[in-house]
């Protein structure tokens, strides 16, 4: 398996399991309906564990364009590989979102609230305020990428033994910081599924809220670069 295929697979697993968790909680007539925010944050944390553990030995398990950008900016990953990794991650995000929709397709038809259907695919703010929403995504991703930089091996990324620490990191970001915007903290986690929501025949869907869509893309990229900047300032040998 090549790193390109590994990043597609790892990101697809992340989105299939993560979006699947949201679907199980918010869609009607599922076994997990209304089980709450803690289930969602735990599900996403475990989805990260699976994604990282599955492909770490092959690609370094970035499974997030903001992580790839942060690693490259910090000198821990080759800039020449950044476009390849990011392309794989966005493809994997779309594939994972498709699988989650396919898995829960009958439940979309039974759910009346179109906002909940959109929430399965992508994030939305609890209070829509552009500057605050952007800051939330920047800070949440900063926390993620800075800690990943402390864990990651030079020129590679994450190893299989890093899967649990990163999963716990994403879990606490969700519990502690996710209530404002839904903590996308990953452009491929939000943009690709949002695109799939627009393209797929989701029963009774609304628009895909493209006016908000730039925030969970731009915010994580800024957060990743800021994390790399701090990492370099305090010394790459940390």
Question: What predicted TM-score, i.e. pTM, was given to this entire model?
Answer: 0.95
Residue with tokens 């190893």: 159
pLDDT, position 155: 64
- Phi first, then psi, for residue 61 (nearest 5°) are 50, 55
Mean pLDDT of the 129-157 span: 91
Contact by Cβ (8 Å): 206, 115: yes
Q: Cα separation of 104 and 7, whole Å?
A: 24
Rounded Cα distance, 174 and 176, in Å: 6
With 0-12 / 13-18 / 19 or more C-beta atoms within 10 angstroms meaning exposed / middle / buried, residue 103 is middle
Domains and CATH numbers, the chain: 3-234 (1.20.1080.10)
Say which residue, 1 or 57, is predicted with more confidence.
57
DSSP-assigned beta bridge partners for residue 153 = 157
Tens-place pLDDT, residues 194-225: 999 999 999 999 999 999 999 999 999 999 99
Confidence band for 159, pLDDT divided at 50, 70 and 90 = confident
Least confident of 82-91, 152-161, 178-187: 152-161
């Amino acid at each position: 398996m090549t790193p390109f295929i590994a990043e597609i697979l790892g990101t697809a697993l992340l989105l299939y399991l993560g979006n699947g968790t949201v679907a199980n909680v918010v869609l009607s007539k599922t076994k997990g309906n209304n089980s709450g925010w803690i289930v969602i944050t735990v599900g996403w944390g475990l989805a990260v564990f699976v994604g990282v553990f599955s492909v770490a030995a092959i690609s370094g398990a970035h499974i997030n364009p903001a992580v790839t950008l942060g690693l490259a900016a910090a000198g821990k990953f080759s800039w020449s590989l950044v476009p390849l990794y990011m392309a794989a991650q966005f493809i994997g995000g779309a594939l994972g979102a498709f699988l989650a929709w396919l898995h829960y397709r009958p439940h979309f038809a039974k759910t009346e609230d179109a906002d909940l259907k959109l929430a399965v695919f992508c994030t939305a703010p609890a209070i829509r305020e552009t500057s605050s929403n952007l800051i939330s995504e920047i800070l949440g991703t900063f926390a993620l990428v800075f800690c990943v930089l402390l864990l990651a091996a030079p020129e590679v990324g994450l190893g299989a033994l890093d899967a649990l620490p990163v999963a716990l990191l994403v879990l606490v970001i969700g519990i502690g910081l996710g209530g404002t915007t839904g903590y996308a903290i990953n452009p491929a986690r939000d943009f690709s599924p949002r695109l799939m929501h627009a393209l797929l025949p989701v029963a009774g869907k609304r628009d895909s809220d493209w006016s908000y869509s730039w925030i969970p893309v731009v915010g994580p990229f800024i957060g990743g670069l800021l994390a790399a900047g701090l990492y370099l300032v305090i010394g790459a040998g940390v």
